[in-house]
Chain A
Amino acid sequence: MATTRTDHGRIAAPARAVPRQAARPGRRGPRRSRRSGLHTLVFLLPMLLIFGVFSWFPIGRAILMSFQQTNLVTDPTFVGLENFQTVLADPLLWTAVKNTLYFAFLALLFGYPIPLVAALLMSEVRRAKGLFSALAYLPVVVPPVVAVLLWKVFYDPGPEGVFNTLLGHVGLGPYAWLQDADIAMPSLVLEATWAAAGGTIIIYLAALTGVDPTLYEAAEIDGAGIWHKIWHITLPQLRGILLITFILQIIGTAQVFLEPFLFTDGGPANSTVTVLLLIYRYAFTSSLGGDYGAATALSLMLAIVLALFSALYFRLTRSWSSS
């Protein structure tokens, strides 16, 4: 070693000596930590057991199962990529992907600008601010299943339905909200937006109180008007949180299940079949008895797409909360 007189060796030699000396005072460390190591393990036990059995084990199993033919009777057999091929060859998959993208698009269209405008207005309220937030958040508190079932009553296709009566006053309708393949999906998104918008409003309101007022004061000295301040100060200050709610909404809507399952069960004419509904059908309602392989293969493909978004989200929140 010593004969190879490279630059590397020469620099490394003194550097190696330093940490050895620094480590010496910590000699007592290991003995103490071996005793307390047992106690640490006691505290870690619930987490290790629960995560082991109900998180890490199933994740590994998911990857394995996507390459296997699994039914609950015979032992699973490896089938290579057959499950993926089956899923990709299913014409319904592309309908489901298209519908899920359509749902996500409509959810952004309805659910992205409205909470922002509402939050901007609400942050200027000077009296009874709490009343505004409480009213906005109320739909979020309603259990989602109750919300869907209630809206299903509202969406009654007859002229006496709640929404049709309302629209009848201005000469519109009656509409077959959930029975018409063209408007079934927008009807689903309308309810989903109603149920979720309050949460987004509260997030924006919290972010708006974090905007430094001296920025506004500085702009006012330069003679900036209200619109100018919103465009050049408020919105840029909210950039981080706007991106985060955007990503969260994508991740959420890509896994939408409740609305298509309870409102329409995928109909009419498969116009509201989503990817998650398809996974559910593969696994739990197949006439052949659960096709678990196909279901996990599709879950895995969806998960890889979503993991990219979550990684982006995680990076953003980390840099955002540390700044």
Chain B
Amino acid sequence: MSTRLRGDRGVIAPTDWKRTRVRWTARTAHAVLLAALVAIGLGPMLWLAKSAVTPTQDTLREPLALWPNGIDLANLSEAWTRVEIDQYFFNTVALAAGAWAVQLLVAATGGYALAVLRPRYGKVLSGVVLATLFVPAVVLLVPLYLTVLDPPLLGTSLLNTFWAVWLPAGANAFNVLLMQRFFSSLPKEVFEAARVDGAGPYRLFWSIVLPMSKPIIGVVSVFAVIASWKDFLWPMLVLPDPDLQPLSVRLPALQRFVELDVFLAALAISTLIPVVLFLAFQRMFLSSAGLGGAIKG
């Protein structure tokens, strides 16, 4: 009996791979696919990298020249300093960091209360939280904007503050669901043992549950940072002050008054960090993306 793992083989049988015709067809198909992926996936990135250091005239005259006539590294420094990409870059980082912290706080504490402490009204509460998954983001656009203009309890407008992006990011039922599911799958005996040893709910949360939950914290973190980095419409609405805007909101406006080569340099700088993060944490990104299909999109 074979005890092979799933994913060990695909449609093509091991015996098929020994047939020359099958092997060559598959290899050719893979070579074509690889060439297509390089051209489509990597091509635009390479073009952007090249054009970021090419004078505008060269890019306009011969956009597909493999090697530019002159190299203009000044584009990059000009984009960073004169166009103040650095400022928008740090705004983007600050927005992502705050949104990440709020999302993690809400999802971890809420998920813990619902999955481990289990209050009697827990079922109803998680139902009300999960129900928001059915409400598409578009419904909230206008009323959420008005809420940020005049929030209840607070009495002062959040417009043009980072809180306007950070706090609404926390209302993410999907994160709560992920955390709750993961916490309920942890072995109950560990909780009981900790309780017998005298650990209260805070100690249990901080010293037992959180250290055991690194994988799910990682997944929620990746989702939170990516979503924040990509967000456009919401920060555009609540941060009308250009000094506070992230890259995604500022770049379209820059296009109107910056020459092409510096603009492309700015685009390249904005792309660099996510791409480097992706290459560094490739496995985590790809497994999160696969998981995304199982529960979310």
Contact = CB atoms under 8 A, between A and B. Distances in A.
B64 A211 contact: no
Contacts of B144: 54, 58
Contacts of A283: 141-142, 145
B167 interface: yes
A162 B141 contact: no
Nearest to A203: B293
Given A50-B167, A144-B230, A202-B286, A209 B6 contact: yes
Contacts of A296: 139, 142-143
Contact of B106 (A46, A144, A151, A317): A46
Interface string B265-285: 001001100110111001001
Given A283-B141, A314-B133, A46 B41 contact: no
Given A138-B41, A220-B13, A292-B142, A44 B125 contact: yes
Interface string B90-131: 000000000000100111011011100101100001001100
Interface in B27-48: 29-30, 33-34, 37-38, 40-42, 44-45, 47-48
Interface in A286-315: 290, 292, 295-296, 299-300, 302-303, 306-307, 310-311, 314
Interface string A160-183: 111001100000000000000000
A248 B289 CA distance: 14
B137 interface: yes
B196 interface: no
B200 interface: yes
Max chain A CB contacts within 10 Å: which of B10, B205, B230? B10
B229 interface: yes
A253 to B, nearest CB: 11
B30 A65 contact: no
Contacts of A194: 40, 44
A268 interface: no
Interface stretch (A6-14, A17-25, A104-112, A122-130): A122-130
A273 interface: no
Given A258-B233, A283-B141, 19 more contacts: A50-B167, A55-B171, A56-B132, A58-B143, A59-B135, A72-B146, A122-B33, A123-B10, A124-B11, A134-B278, A146-B248, A203-B292, A207-B293, A210-B6, A226-B11, A233-B11, A296-B142, A299-B142, A300-B139
14 contacts: A43-B117, A51-B132, A58-B143, A59-B143, A62-B142, A142-B275, A145-B232, A149-B252, A162-B63, A214-B2, A252-B297, A276-B138, A311-B134, A320-B294
